[in-house]
């Protein structure tokens, strides 16, 4: 019954959107309102399937996710956008006696434009890039110069994920030849069993100093304890409010990993994944150089006083960005949305993610394998 409220809300919201769009084009649709109502009912059907899966714990197949859930998101997002555009056009045209005509034009032109943008975004979701970034933390020992971490984040792997895309990611990670491979959260989409697909794609990846993972919010939603167990079965070291001492060219440093704020939202079910920054830093020797993995960059203010470098994801850069302007859709809502930040001598890098969430859509914020190379601060 706890899904009843969200279910009703989604149905009412989508029904309203389809109605607002239908008002402007009902005369152009064969069958009029009957056809529009039938189309909405078919498009809304996945809501009931989704609710059933969550209630019963049923694992959705690749076909269900590809041919039921994905069209649902495409259709509803399209209709919500058209509802807003057509309503705005109607109100603007109303003083001139052209409200209906303006609304109709907005639906027709908007549909073509939005479908074109959707296709552009789909192509972008497959354009994997390998981004090399250089970080020079002020407190880094010079002996760590050249240390390299390959960051993979927000993979959101499930049976619907393109195996070809996952293979390209794995190949890029191997070629990057990092000293460390770090999965910084949201390894899976929504279910613990998704780890099986994750393992088949990345289970053979290795690095001289180890392969590490931390929880992201979707790992928590999926059921963190089971996700963790399956991840550790792969041979990946999972860090949750934990730190480990490592050695590079004879110099010691620490790699730490936080929990995720979603753990607090989930109550008892997420307790084992909730962040505890103070507890984590008790495991870091005083004065030690520390690289911290934190899925959600909102943790950066709490980490900055004691972490030298923080690697995050989570924001996806809104899956829509203008890199030349250092702007993304996420920048509208978040303080730490994309790229590199500095605070209290600590450096944060927020990756756009290595896959996508929801629908395959990325413009500007292309999926990224991040290769972080550490360089000593120049003395001259």
Distance CA(43)–CA(252), nearest Å, equals 56
What does the pLDDT read at residue 229?
A: 97
| pLDDT for residue 244 is more than 90 | yes
260 contacts 275 by C-beta, under 8 angstroms = yes
pTM of the entire structure? 0.94
- Residue range 171-199, pLDDT digits in tens: 999 999 999 999 999 999 889 999 999 99
Q: How many domains is the chain partitioned into structurally?
A: 2
- Note whether residue 379 is domain-resident: no
Which CATH number do you get for residue 160?
3.60.21.10
Residue-level pLDDT at 50: 83
292 shares its domain with 165: yes
pLDDT, tens only, 310-353: 999 999 999 999 999 999 999 999 999 999 999 999 999 999 99
Query: Taking phi first (over 0 means left), then psi (-120 to 50 degrees means alpha), and beta for anything else, what does residue 27 get?
Result: alpha
Let me know how long the chain is: 380
**238 lies in some domain:** yes
Q: Which of 125, 146, 168 is the last residue of a domain?
A: 125
Distance CA 169, CA 257 (A): 22
Over the range 216-252, which residues count as b (16 or more CB within 10 Å of their CB) and which as e? Answer: bbbbbbbbbeebbebbeebebebbbbbbeebebeeee
Q: Is the pLDDT of residue 68 over 70?
A: yes
* Residue 31 tokens, joined: 């069958």
Alpha carbons within 13 angstroms on the beta-carbon side of residue 309 total 26
Do 312 and 202 reside in the same domain of the chain?
yes
Considering the domain boundaries, does residue 298 fall inside one?
yes
**Angle, CA 204 vertex, CA 59 and CA 239 arms, to 5°:** 70
Q: Decide if 3 contacts 55 (C-beta within 8 A).
A: yes
Quote the crossing angle between the two packed helices 194-202 and 163-176, to the nearest 10°: 40
Listing DSSP states for 117-158 in one string gives: HHHHHHHHHT--EEEEEEE--TT--GGGTT-EEEEE----B-
In this structure, the strands spanning 290-293 and 251-257 are parallel
Confidence of residue 7 (pLDDT cuts 50, 70, 90): confident
Same domain? For 157 and 77 the reply is: no
The string of DSSP letters for 231-276 reads HHHTTPEE-SSEEEEEEETTEEEEEEE---THHHHTGGGGGGGS--
Give the pLDDT confidence of 35-59 residue by residue, as tens digits.
999 999 999 999 888 888 878 888 9
- Quote the pLDDT of residue 3: 60
Radius of gyration of the CA atoms of the chain, in A:
23
pLDDT at position 268: 86
Q: What is the mean pLDDT of residues 249-270?
A: 94
Q: 136 and 23, same structural domain?
A: no
- Does any domain span residue 325? yes
Residue 380 inside a domain? The answer is no
Residues 320 and 340 in one domain: yes
Please check whether residues 112 and 146 belong to one and the same domain: no
Q: By the 8 A CB rule, do 127 and 356 touch?
A: no
Is the distance from CB of 296 to CB of 310 less than 8 angstroms? no
158 occurs within a structural domain: yes
User: Which of 68, 97, 125 is where one domain is finished?
Assistant: 125
Print the domain residue range for 348.
Answer: 129-374
Report the share of the chain in percent with pLDDT over 70: 99
Q: Which residue has the tokens 């120049």?
A: 378
- Of 125, 150, 169, the one marking the end of a domain is 125
What are 9's two structure tokens?
Answer: 């809300």
- Residue 262 domain-assigned (yes or no): yes
User: Does 213 lie in the same domain as 298?
Assistant: yes
Residues 252 and 273 occupy one common structural domain: yes
> For 122-142, what is the mean pLDDT?
97
Instruction: Check the CA dihedral 356-362-367-372 and report its sign.
Output: negative
> Same domain for 92 and 175?
no
């Amino acid at each position: 019954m706890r899904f009843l409220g969200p279910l009703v809300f989604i149905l009412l919201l989508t029904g309203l959107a389809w109605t607002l769009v239908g008002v402007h084009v009902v005369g152009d649709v064969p069958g009029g309102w009957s056809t529009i109502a039938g189309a909405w009912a078919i498009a809304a059907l996945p809501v009931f399937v989704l609710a059933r899966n969550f209630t019963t714990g049923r694992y959705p197949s690749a076909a269900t996710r590809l041919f039921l859930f994905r069209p649902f998101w495409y259709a509803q997002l399209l209709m919500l956008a058209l509802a807003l555009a057509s309503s705005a056009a109607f109100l603007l045209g109303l003083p001139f006696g052209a409200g209906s005509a303006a609304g109709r034009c907005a639906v027709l032109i908007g549909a073509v434009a939005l479908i074109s943008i959707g296709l552009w975004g789909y192509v972008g979701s497959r354009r994997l890039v390998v981004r090399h970034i250089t970080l020079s933390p002020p407190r880094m020992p010079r002996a760590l110069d050249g240390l390299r971490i390959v960051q993979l984040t927000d993979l959101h792997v499930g049976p619907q994920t393109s195996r070809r895309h996952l293979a390209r990611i794995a190949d890029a990670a191997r070629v990057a030849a990092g000293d460390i491979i770090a999965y910084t959260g949201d390894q899976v989409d929504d279910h613990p069993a998704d780890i099986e697909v994750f393992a088949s794609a990345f289970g053979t990846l290795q690095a001289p100093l180890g392969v590490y993972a931390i929880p992201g919010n979707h790992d928590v939603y999926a059921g963190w304890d089971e996700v963790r167990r399956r991840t550790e079965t792969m041979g990946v070291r999972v860090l949750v409010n934990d730190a480990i001492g490592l050695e590079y060219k004879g110099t010691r440093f620490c790699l730490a990993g936080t929990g995720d704020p979603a753990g607090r939202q989930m109550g008892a079910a997420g307790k084992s994944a909730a962040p505890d920054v103070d507890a984590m830093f008790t495991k870091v020797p005083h004065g030690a150089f520390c690289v911290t993995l934190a899925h959600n960059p909102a943790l950066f203010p709490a980490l900055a006083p004691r972490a030298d470098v923080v690697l995050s994801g989570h924001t996806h850069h809104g899956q829509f960005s203008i890199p030349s302007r250092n702007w993304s859709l996420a920048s509208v809502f978040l303080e730490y949305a994309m790229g590199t930040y500095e605070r209290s001598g600590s450096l944060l890098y927020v990756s756009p993610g290595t896959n996508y969430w929801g629908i395959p859509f990325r413009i500007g914020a292309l999926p990224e394998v991040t290769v972080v190379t550490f360089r000593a601060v120049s003395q001259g």
